[in-house]
Amino acid sequence: MRDETKPAAATWLLGFTQIIGYGSLYYSFSILADDIAATFGWTQAGFFGVFSLALLAGAFVAPFVGRMLDRFGAARMMSLGTVLSAVMLAVTAWAPGPLTFVAALMLMQVVSCFVLYDAAFPALVQLVPADGRRRIVHLTLIAGFASSLFWPLTNWLDGHLGWRVTLSLYALANVVFCFPAHLLVARWTRTALAAGTSRTPTADSALPHATVPAVRLSQAMWLVTAGFAFSSLALSAVLSQMVPLLQALGFGASALAVSTLFGPAQVVVRFGSLVFPGQRHPLTVGMFALALLPLGLVIAATGAPAFPAAVVFVVLVGLCSGLKSIVQGTVPLVLFGPKGFGSRLGFMAGFRYASGALAPFLFSFVSGLTSASSAALVFAALGMLGVLALWLVTRLLQPAAG
């Protein structure tokens, strides 16, 4: 394969592995929850409590994983992570009892840090540092189909084969498809670094953007981390119980049908970012993206039970989610550069994962004390704290050189 075609091929390969990774390690469990809970004598809430605990385990190791990605190469570590993920999927699938299942699930979320977005973004940047921002947009567009593909696929497999065989097949898919893809990208990265081609600038990378002065780097890093963590707290709360929330707000039987708009909205906004990339600073796009969710929550809380309010809410959530997954990679890349990119993403991911793991419980707690509409407004305020944090970063910027 010619060197100039490898970045595009790597983007497609990693996009494909992200679909399998997110589908098998994350999205599948929302479908399998009831059957797994029944197997071990848990309630559905009990299972999701265990899943939140597993996500917290991933949050604790994410900063360490980020440093490993920088030190040893992201694609190389993704190869190792794929094998470990497959092993944990298999152990989870055939866990003889609840303790084994919980331990395997926690380890699965730990090793997933080596294979999902926060590893794939550095892998692309290490292959093509000058074109990393555009490749991240391409990758998220491809991977955006993970939930749309794996929710129905998991439902079908579970109905015909059961949850244990379903997870076993997903373990096999990681080994057969993802492992060789990651190895290939790792080989291309080594070749590009040796030849020096990974540092060739492109028109996209040459767009001038304001940056953070060296004396403000630490402050900016904490603000960006806080911004995405607050947004993840609100977004994870909504995504973990989209349909129950819509029903509790009074949208009734239409809740399930309306919720299907989330996936298309997420893909459409990513496609728009690809076709109409624009020249706005990623921080501007980030503030816009993070503000969409609070706006949607306010509309849902105040507009219920009007059907258009539910539609607008779900579409805004999808747009926020679609853009947020992009700017979580592009904002730190533009602000801080490609050096140490994996470590920075790992640091931010730790806080995002922790807030995302706590979000469902916190939302349920606030709803129980007050009401669904009050909880929606509280989490809208938390989401706006994320917007405020990114706005404060803009106060630290210095104009782009040239």
The amino acid at 236:
S
Structural domains of the chain, with CATH: 3-199 (1.20.1250.20), 214-394 (1.20.1250.20)
With a pLDDT cut of 90, the percent of the chain lying above it is 61
Asked if 72 and 78 touch (Cβ cutoff 8 Å), the reply is: no
141 Rama sector, left if φ>0, alpha if ψ -120 to 50, beta otherwise: alpha
CB atoms within 10 A of CB 148: 18
Asked if 69 and 342 touch (Cβ cutoff 8 Å), the reply is: yes
Residue 152 has a pLDDT of 86
Mean pLDDT confidence for 216-224: 92
Give CA angle at 288 (287, 293), nearest 5°. 100
Q: Which of 157-171, 195-209, 237-251 has the highest mean pLDDT?
A: 157-171
Taking alpha carbons only, the member of 259, 317, 312, 330 closest to residue 289 is 317
Q: Report the C-alpha gap between 33 and 108 in whole angstroms.
A: 16
Residue 207 confidence class, pLDDT cut points 50, 70, 90: very low
- DSSP secondary-structure letter at 204? T
Asked if 383 and 293 touch (Cβ cutoff 8 Å), the reply is: yes
168: enclosing H helix or E strand = helix 163-173
CB atoms within 10 A of CB 232: 27
Residue 214 has a pLDDT of 78
pTM: 0.85
Taking alpha carbons only, the member of 14, 10, 11, 233 closest to residue 116 is 14
Asked if 301 and 245 touch (Cβ cutoff 8 Å), the reply is: no
Q: Report the C-alpha gap between 116 and 109 in whole angstroms.
A: 10
Residue 205 has a pLDDT of 41
Mean pLDDT confidence for 199-225: 68
| Chain mean pLDDT for the chain | 89
Per-residue pLDDT of 295-345, as tens digits, reads: 999 999 999 888 899 999 999 999 999 899 899 998 999 898 888 999 999
Residue 197 has a pLDDT of 55
Tell the burial category of 319 from Cβ atoms under 10 Å away from its Cβ (0-12, 13-18, 19+): buried
Residue 113 confidence class, pLDDT cut points 50, 70, 90: very high
Asked if 22 and 147 touch (Cβ cutoff 8 Å), the reply is: yes
Residue 215 has a pLDDT of 81
Asked if 81 and 115 touch (Cβ cutoff 8 Å), the reply is: yes
CB atoms within 10 A of CB 363: 24
- DSSP secondary-structure letter at 69? H
Asked if 315 and 265 touch (Cβ cutoff 8 Å), the reply is: yes
Token pair in block for residue 304: 């219920």
Mean pLDDT confidence for 376-391: 96
Token pair in block for residue 247: 């029903």
Asked if 108 and 92 touch (Cβ cutoff 8 Å), the reply is: yes
Residue 400 has a pLDDT of 56
Question: Half-sphere exposure (CA, 13 Å, Cβ side) for 317?
Answer: 32
In sequence order, what DSSP letters do the residues of 223-266 get, joined into one string? Answer: HHHHHHHHHHHHHHHHHHTHHHHHHHTT-TTHHHHHHTTHHHHH
- DSSP secondary-structure letter at 370? S
Per-residue pLDDT of 244-275, as tens digits, reads: 788 888 888 777 778 778 878 888 888 777 66
Residue 201 has a pLDDT of 43
Q: Report the C-alpha gap between 95 and 85 in whole angstroms.
A: 15
Helix, strand, coil shares of the chain, percent, nearest 5, are 85, 0, 15
Residue 277 has a pLDDT of 60
Sign, Cα dihedral of 189, 195, 198, 202: negative
Local structure of 398: helix, strand or coil: strand
Token pair in block for residue 114: 């080596």
C-alpha pair distances (Å), 381 with each of 237, 311, 400: 13, 21, 32
Per-residue pLDDT of 56-92, as tens digits, reads: 999 999 999 999 999 999 999 999 999 999 999 999 9
Is residue 204 scored above 50 in pLDDT? no
Is residue 398 scored above 80 in pLDDT? no
